[in-house]
Chain A
């Protein structure tokens, strides 16, 4: 997290941490993984919503509001705390969709906001990979939704890549390809022709599903914003998604690093604590450096997006490629420090490893984001 939080931010962060520790500790996460079909408990989600989890990116005119005036920095605190405890719940897609609705939704579309903010409903964000390199690594074989313009609106066909909360969402914002561009549409769950197919995911509590559109007929009222501005809007949504995701990854990795240092201090071999061996101390030093760099990069990305900086598109890709590479690497190092216990089901490490590895793949891999950076550099 950023150093130098305001008093209000600090209070908010402490409140969020306490709420999560009290209501959803790791053994609860494991229980949810096994028992909860949706991957999260709706009543619990509404309580989180009362703390402001879904209102930060929504303007005050639409019932939202943040703490410090820097909405993504504020919401990053929630994402980071949820990362620390591998918390369930579709925080990222719901917030990305709420922000987009508030920014450019029609009055009718904005009626969805009340439910999203209060936690009554959740959303899925079904976007295209806006990764300009489109090299072999960026290819997503299974995801392509196409829209055809009709007299009164659009008809959607195709299957999305696996998206978070695809099957749980009450509301989907989908980006579809037109012959000459993109269009974003708001599609309520239950719309005829819309079905979902559950996907396997590494994460035990975040559920993913492919969304299938078969001749889904939508009126022009379903269009979010304008087709002409859809590409720019997709980029803005991606910025929000990556900022929150990076904060969540940093939170998860920070927690793993903390308990691994503690383990290294408590654990004795040959009469010495593990952390007294220089070979291991030096690797801890490298991890600490990567971790602080990850904090720095996630924070810089959030600030850039909050400020509407022209550097924001580059800085989210800097953050994602750096954290996407180093986050899982740190966790794997921590598995190594734990020894055999680190690769067992009962140890909590794999919950974190699943989370950060899953996050690494969503919203662009490090490779994809380096492609974006290379394009921005004009090479």
Chain B
């Protein structure tokens, strides 16, 4: 991203993108958005084809370096492209985590060989990635993970289990954090690996969620062999890589990533378009009702402020005016705003949120309320974000930790589970 100024200014780029989109990309069917499109495209077959179209047209990886198949342009160009892409089918499945979290981590820590092997393939639509970080033994205490990778010459043998990997059943590769030395304090004995998902020794199970979807997965590893050339960063230096990955994750989930393309989830920054809450007010005939007006306006205000905060934090971190962990401010805002949106939706939906005719918007808001906490859990719970903000942005004392500076195998921890049969 730090290259000579592009030959084409943003507005010229925008016009070219507008023409190209009109000529090339399929339009969204009436009443469809990319979020719903993604749900129906379970194996990402369509998304892979759409990503290939972007790649062939020179619009994939707008902020990625040219040498790895990207366009090498500043983030304003990506923003312009995303704005122009509204109304078209876009491969938003690739946005999170592949393009916004994992590929950027590879850019930061991968070897030249690893980057050339995977990043062009990702931009071409050939590889979807997931992160193998969380484990059933614990969520927030990531460095306390128990999945082991034991070295034998040029290969590591991976054993254990990962969970909450989103869409692993359709993905191709993962970045997997595993323990390579249990005799040192927990952060010092971890290594990050590139792990191919569909191979002997890996079992992927889908997890059915409250809302009926089964996007999240759990994986079980039984002596999975990983070549040492697939270590990302240094052996036992995996925490450094994971910290960078989590930084990209905060950026991505907070909406500050320059690497996503096309509108995904949420309404922040959508501008101009009528939001799902405004649709709800209209469909329930509550225009002119002051309570409904107040609530919808509050949601609009929060969405605007969310984008303004993201812009401020992104700028602050880039210029050094804010420390990196300030990304948690955007992250926490997005999550608490999401909670409030679900509350507002439920309130406006009224009695219709409980039992309703199929397809009724009020009923859909009732259903989605059941997953209200999702955005406050994924990618680090709100409580962890508040710890990060208070400790690493405001400099307040760290929480007590019983495992600090003690070898991992001398500390109490949970066990890795076995696959259910």
When the two chains form their complex, are residues B296 and A374 in contact, meaning their CB atoms are under 8 A apart? Answer: yes
A281 to B398, CA, bound (A): 10
Measured between alpha carbons, how far is A292 from B302 in the docked complex, in Å? Answer: 13
Give the tally of cross-chain contacts (CB within 8 A). 129
Q: Check A377 for interface membership: any CB of B closer than 8 A.
A: yes
- Report how many residues on chain A are interfacial, defined by Cβ distance under 8 Å: 39
Q: Is the CB of A133 within 8 A of B304?
A: no
Pairwise interchain contact B309-A281, C-beta atoms closer than 8 A = no
Nearest Cβ distance between residue A277 and chain B, in whole angstroms? 9
State in angstroms the CA–CA spacing of A286 and B302 once bound together: 15
In the assembled complex, the Cα of A315 lies from the Cα of B286 at a distance in Å of 24
B330 to nearest A CB, angstroms?
Answer: 9
Considering the chains assembled together, what is the distance between the CA atoms of A229 and B305 in angstroms?
31
Chain A residues, CB < 8 A from B302:
322
Q: A4–B321 contact, CB under 8 A?
A: yes
- Structural contact, A299 and B278, CB atoms closer than 8 A: no
- Scoring A264, A295, A300 by chain B CB atoms within 10 A of each residue's CB, the highest score goes to A300
A295 to B313, CA, bound (A): 11
- Residues of chain A contacted by B394 (CB below 8 angstroms): 261, 275, 281, 284-285, 288
Q: How far is the CB of A250 from chain B (nearest CB, A)?
A: 12
The reply to whether the CB of B399 lies closer than 8 angstroms to some CB of chain A is yes
B312 CB within 8 Å of chain A: yes
Quick one: given A3-B312, A377-B300, are A288 and B389 in contact (CB under 8 Å)?
yes
A339 within 8 Å of B by Cβ?
A: no
Q: Does B243 contact A (CB under 8 A)?
A: no
B246 within 8 A of A: no
Which segment of A80-88, A172-180, A213-221, A365-373 sits at the interface?
A: A365-373
Q: Closest approach, in angstroms, between the C-beta of B364 and any C-beta of chain A?
A: 19
Contact B296 A292 (CB under 8 A): no
B153-205 with Cβ < 8 A to chain A: none
Residue contact B332 to A285, C-beta cutoff 8 Å: yes
Name the one of A135, A261, A292, A314 contacting B309, with C-beta atoms under 8 angstroms.
A292
Chain B, range 30-80, C-beta contacts under 8 Å to A: none
The reply on B212 being an interface residue by CB < 8 A is: no
A275 and B296 in contact, given A285-B389, A293-B308, A322-B301 (Cβ under 8 angstroms)? no
Does B282 count as interface, using CB distance less than 8 angstroms? yes
Contact with A377, one of B278, B290, B383 (Cβ below 8 angstroms): B278
* B375-421 interface with A by 8 A CB criterion: 383, 385-387, 389-391, 393-394, 396-397, 399
Q: Is the CB of A4 within 8 A of B297?
A: no
Instruction: Check A379 against B301 for contact (C-beta < 8 Å).
Output: no
> With a CB–CB cut-off of 8 A, which chain B residues contact A318?
300-301, 304-305
Chain A CB within 10 A, most for which of B316, B393, B397:
B397
**Smallest distance from the beta carbon of A91 to chain B beta carbons, Å?**
24
Q: What residues of chain A have their CB less than 8 Å away from a CB belonging to chain B?
A: 3-4, 133, 135, 261, 264-265, 273, 275-276, 278, 281-282, 284-286, 288-289, 292-293, 295-297, 299-300, 314-315, 317-318, 321-322, 367, 370-371, 373-374, 377-379
- Give 7 pairs: A residue, B residue, CB < 8 Å, sorted on A: A281-B387, A281-B391, A282-B386, A282-B387, A285-B390, A292-B313, A318-B300
With A288-B390, A377-B274 already in contact, 18 other A-B pairs whose C-beta atoms are closer than 8 Å = A3-B312, A4-B315, A4-B321, A133-B290, A281-B390, A282-B390, A293-B306, A293-B308, A296-B308, A297-B309, A318-B304, A321-B298, A322-B302, A373-B297, A373-B300, A374-B296, A378-B278, A379-B281
In the A-B complex, the 8 residue pairs with the closest CB atoms:
A281-B390, A374-B293, A370-B297, A285-B389, A285-B386, A296-B308, A296-B312, A373-B297
